[in-house]
Amino acid sequence: MIKSFEDVQNLNKEGLEAFAASSAAASKGAQAFATEIADYSKKSFEKSTAVWQNAVAAKSFEKAVEIQQVYAKDVFETSLAEFTKLGELAAAAAKAAFKPYEASFAAFGVKAPVAGK
Task: Judge whether 2 lies within some domain.
Answer: no
Asked whether residue 92 is assigned to any structural domain, the reply reads: yes
Buried b (16+ CB within 10 A) or exposed e, 22-49: beebeeebeeebeeeeeebeeeeeeeee
Q: Is residue 74 part of a domain?
A: yes
pLDDT band for position 19 (cuts 50, 70, 90): confident
Of the CA atoms within 13 Å of residue 81, those in its CB half-sphere come to 8
Higher pLDDT, 76 or 18: 76
pLDDT band, very low/low/confident/very high, at 47 (cuts 50, 70, 90):
very high
Q: How much is the pLDDT for 14?
A: 78
Number of domains in the chain: 1
CB 47 within 8 Å of CB 73: no
Whether the pLDDT of residue 28 is over 70: the answer is yes
In a domain, 116, yes or no: no
Top-confidence residue, 112 or 62: 62
Mean pLDDT confidence for 51-74: 94
pLDDT for 17: 84
* Residue 70 resides in a domain: yes
Residue 84 inside a domain? The answer is yes
Gap between the Cα atoms of 9 and 12, Å rounded: 5
99 falls within a domain: yes
Q: Look up the pTM and report it.
A: 0.71
Owning domain of residue 17: 7-104
> Of 96, 99, 100, 76, which Cα lies nearest the Cα of 88?
96
Q: Which of 5-9, 25-29, 70-74, 86-90 has the lowest mean pLDDT?
A: 5-9
pLDDT of residue 18: 84
Mean pLDDT of 41-47: 96
Is 42 a member of any domain?
yes
